[in-house]
Amino acid sequence: MASSNTLKDIAEKLNVSVSTVSRAVNNKAYVKEETRRKVLQALKEYHYVPNEIARSLKSQSTKTIGVVIPDICEVFFGQIIKGIDEVVSREGYTIIVADSSENKINEARDLEMLFQKRVDALVLATVELKGKKVFRFLENEIPVVFIDNLPEIDREIDSVMIDNVKASKIAMHHLLALGHKNIAVIIGSIEETTGYDRMLGYKEALQETGLSIDERLIAYGDYKEKTGYECMKALLAQRDEAPFTAVYVTSEMMTFGAIKAINDCGLRIPEDISLIGFDVHDKTGLVVPGITTVRQPENQIGTTVGKILLKHIKQKNSREAQKLREQQKVLLEPYLEIGQSCKKLSVSEK
């Protein structure tokens, strides 16, 4: 660690007390204009840089926010971090990221480390169904915000995510409006709220339109590309008994897998099958046909998280209205990004 000048060094050089220098550094009152000038100049001259660690110990606040995510390489999480950073870095906060590699053990270890480092707040995209590991943070009044998905937890907690039920409905309404009636779906794990809600939206959209649910058209994957491929193959294999004209795939990688399965079967999108994906980010802009997909406002998720955190931290510092601190579940709006992967059904095809 750095051994640069300390307040004490400066104080000695100027023959004033440490507290005077401290006041000057922090722009506090009660320091004569002349002294202040002298100090400020010395600060420059000797390249004084405040030691945040010492400040942290004294102030019980590290100006640091912990973010634990399953995979930093996913653009989805990258965007969110960027959003958080945008908001909090302006206030001098800094982000400690930990990549759990979708692994519970790592996640637990990361949480442990972040707690030891006394982060002022925690953002968590957990891969753990039960969220008990965050209790310690809560008990120590460290704000926690969940993103991406919500664990089973028996107390109120902040979260920022999209309305996944609505997300599915948006996708389904798009297909329904194009005349599709037999719509298959590939779902990720319904053990997590995220998958569960997307499933729910799928079913509700059908029911609200007066259509019945055909369980044979529902395939269960695990969010990975491989299962997207396999589910699609399976759906295609039984297409005679359980026909469908469109498929809704509820994660990015499963979407890519499903498309490959369709291609491999010699079928074409959207001519033979219409497809809607989820979270698809095609930075290449070269995938043909362009995939129609449900998207999340990642940056907004990030900035919203950042603002909530900052609000909690300030509230806590001002020790005011402690009991008023309300948890909130923010549901942001998903939206549809229209490509060319869905076609309007002609009358005869319906």
Interacting residues toward a copy of itself by CB under 8 A: 1-4, 47, 49-54, 56-57, 59-64, 71-75, 78-79, 81-82, 85, 89, 92, 94-99, 101, 109-110, 113-118, 120, 136-137, 140-142, 225, 253, 256, 259-260, 280, 282-288
Which of DNA, a copy of itself, none does residue 31 bind to, with CB < 5 to 8 Å depending on kind?
Answer: DNA
Residues 259 and 269: beta-carbon distance below 8 Å: yes
Which of a copy of itself, DNA, none does residue 134 bind to, with CB < 5 to 8 Å depending on kind?
Answer: none
Expressed in percent and rounded to 5, the helix, strand and coil fractions of the chain are: 45, 15, 40
Which of a copy of itself, DNA, none does residue 96 bind to, with CB < 5 to 8 Å depending on kind?
Answer: a copy of itself
- Tell me which residues touch DNA (CB under 7 A): 3, 6-8, 15-20, 22-23, 25-26, 29-36, 50-51, 54-55, 57-60
By C-beta, is 62 or 292 nearer to DNA?
Answer: 62
Which amino acid makes up residue 52? E
By C-beta, is 57 or 338 nearer to a copy of itself?
Answer: 57
By C-beta, is 145 or 217 nearer to a copy of itself?
Answer: 145
CA–CA gap between residue 188 and residue 311 (Å, rounded): 34
What residues does 295 pair with on adjacent strands? Answer: 335
By C-beta, is 49 or 105 nearer to DNA?
Answer: 49
**Least distance CB 94 / a copy of itself (angstroms):** 5
By C-beta, is 49 or 237 nearer to a copy of itself?
Answer: 49
Which of DNA, a copy of itself, none does residue 299 bind to, with CB < 5 to 8 Å depending on kind?
Answer: none
By C-beta, is 23 or 166 nearer to DNA?
Answer: 23
* Four-residue CA torsion sign, 27, 31, 33, 36: negative
**Residue 100: closest CA among 131, 67, 130, 132:** 67
Which of a copy of itself, DNA, none does residue 324 bind to, with CB < 5 to 8 Å depending on kind?
Answer: none
Count how many residues are written for the chain: 350
By C-beta, is 49 or 177 nearer to DNA?
Answer: 49
**Least distance CB 180 / a copy of itself (angstroms):** 22
Which of DNA, a copy of itself, none does residue 160 bind to, with CB < 5 to 8 Å depending on kind?
Answer: none
Q: What are phi and psi of 220, to 5 degrees?
A: -110, 120
Burial class (CB in 10 A: 0-12, 13-18, 19+), 73: exposed
Which of DNA, a copy of itself, none does residue 35 bind to, with CB < 5 to 8 Å depending on kind?
Answer: DNA
**Residue 46: closest CA among 83, 11, 71:** 11
**Residue 183: closest CA among 122, 109, 245:** 245
Which amino acid makes up residue 132? K
DSSP 251-277: SHHHHHHHHHHHHHTT--TTTT-EEEE
What residues does 186 pair with on adjacent strands? Answer: 219, 249
